[in-house]
Structure 1
């Protein structure tokens, strides 16, 4: 019953040849993705830079195929599309789908950095919530560090005491800061970015609230010639993945996605601050004027902004407020 050396060697080579000597490598995984702004806007450019880095690092393991922006899916549908699995990955602010995950308010309300929130357990907590309510896993909070401004067509009206009279403004808003602007006394029209140009052009609104970064990419600076300082809140752009899809990924794909996302998270904050400075200067050089609030009004404005997100979250769903305040507050 002995086996010759030649027979053993031949058998071993045959087994290796059909792949039985070692496990086969898993096939490369591809995730489809949609971004929330047109490709020329800085937020989309930031996301596409993340995708390029991921696709280079993830060759043979994981790739991202970008389907497009709002021409593929409107901003207001991105959260539902990801929850249902129609889209694997979205680059989208938390604000447009607060109806699904009201706790997304914390990304604009917090003054903590993503790194601090990863270290103190805040990210783990918010991902537990996003998983349950939005069927989503948040990879990164990107393009942060800067806030939102109110831009006006005409010089902002003043009250007798010199403060800005927000009651005379009809402001295009996102759902994220609607309550805050209403608290200031302004009339508010909630619209996605794709509708704003026409609203300004037709005079349906006389003001617009948005970040400096990306503003000129929409062409809105053609109509709004004044910027009210200071800014409020913090930009809340997220990169997230359908939770069921995330759970199905092999460990090496998850590792690459998370590593590249955290790298981009950090890099994008610095890049966003530079873009904010550069684009803000370009608008001022083109004739836009900055209007500063009197000190007392400025203080009240910032205090109101700081309170409003937490108040709205508590009104919508108080379940996780105490736990979130402990991490994000």
Structure 2
């Protein structure tokens, strides 16, 4: 059970200036990010905040009031559902226990703009409204997936499959089943704890996007990166549904339009950042092991099959309709 009284008190202390601005009829949206402020995901989100605050002067303002130091990542889905804060920069994979259909974002191999154009966001919002008391504004920082980062070289079998037997990997619940399929020993822990785990040899690597990895300093210990990437980063800008509905039409329009623009600009920026970070890590000595051809196809098919099968097992109601929009068969 989330300690709502404690967290509300903490957020109130962080948002001391909000009352003054509200008195001037500006609507205040209190935001939480799933990473600390210095990590790339939170820094990218700040671009959205700045855009809204510029356009929304006198109408609506976003006030970022904390990150995982305020609400633990594992509790953020529940916090959003209960209205502990108004807006969240939060991966869908961190609250699949509440909205299992959030799997569609990571299980997607299409870009967020095409999914939106084909009605995917509208479709999935009906589900998020009902199950998560949440409204999705945008799928941001898309276009890149998760990589396996290792301190020792992985084994590739004669049949071309990756075998991680004996390797301990930090995982999140989102891709735990996939790493287990590759025979890895799994350690589930927050990203903030991984540096110490790598330093002490508790884990031999991690699954994580390129974005943010050097921000955490993990590159100091890593020697190998396994390509291709799997899944797609599933970071969402979303709001507590009650808070969204309480906003004026003008405020909602400003927030939504800026989110649509940020969805595309963050996608493009993420692609560029991935290339620059890849080059920087290669210069530091991290070797890329690239699966190609049938090996890559087997690797990716295994990953995506697990994601969609997990959704179907949890709740098959919307599985087929979502997969038709979010996923293109691998050829």
- For residues 171 and 38 of structure 1, the distance between their equivalents in structure 2, rounded to whole angstroms, comes to 22
Residues 47-81 of structure 1, C-alpha deviations (whole Å, 9 max, x = no match): 01110111111011110110121111111111111
Tell me the CA shift for residue 203 of structure 1: 1.1
Aligned to 2:48: 50
Rg comparison, structure with higher value: 1
Alpha carbons 1:153, 1:226 under 8 Å: kept? yes
Q: Given that residues 163 and 294 in structure 1 are in contact (C-alpha distance below 8 angstroms), is that contact kept between their aligned partners in structure 2?
A: no
1:273-284 equivalences under 5 Å are 273-284=271-282
Distance 2:161 2:125 in 1: 41
Inter-partner Cα distance in structure 2 for 1:292 and 1:266: 28
Deviation at 1:159, TM superposition (A): 4.3
The alpha carbon displacement at 1:102 in A equals 0.6
Which digits, 9 at most, give the CA deviation of each residue in 1:260-284, with x for residues without a partner?
Answer: 0001111000001111111111011
Show the 5 A alignment for 1:72-221: 72-159=70-157, 164-221=162-219
Distance 1:156 1:325, change over 3 A: closer
Inter-partner Cα distance in structure 1 for 2:252 and 2:151: 46
Alpha-carbon displacement from aligned partner over 1:138-164 (angstroms, at most 9, x marks no partner): 000000001110000122245466754
- Asked if the contact 1:227/1:288 (under 8 Å) is kept, the reply is yes
Which blocks of at least 5 consecutive residues in structure 1 are unaligned? Answer: 1-25
Verify: 1:227 aligned to 2:225, yes or no: yes
Q: TM-score, normalised by structure 2?
A: 0.88
TM-fit CA distance, 1:118: 2.3
Aligned to 1:10: none
Measured at CA, do residues 327 and 53 of structure 1 come closer, stay the same or move farther in structure 2, by a change above 3 Å?
same
2:283 maps to 1:305:
no
Asked if the contact 2:162–2:299 (Cα under 8 Å) also holds between the matched residues in 1, the reply is no
Q: Which residue of 2 aligns with 1:285?
A: 283
TM-score (ref. length: structure 1)? 0.89
Distance of 1:47 and 1:105 partners within structure 2: 22
Residue 224 of structure 2 corresponds to residue 243 of structure 1: no
| C-alpha displacement of 1:245 | 0.7
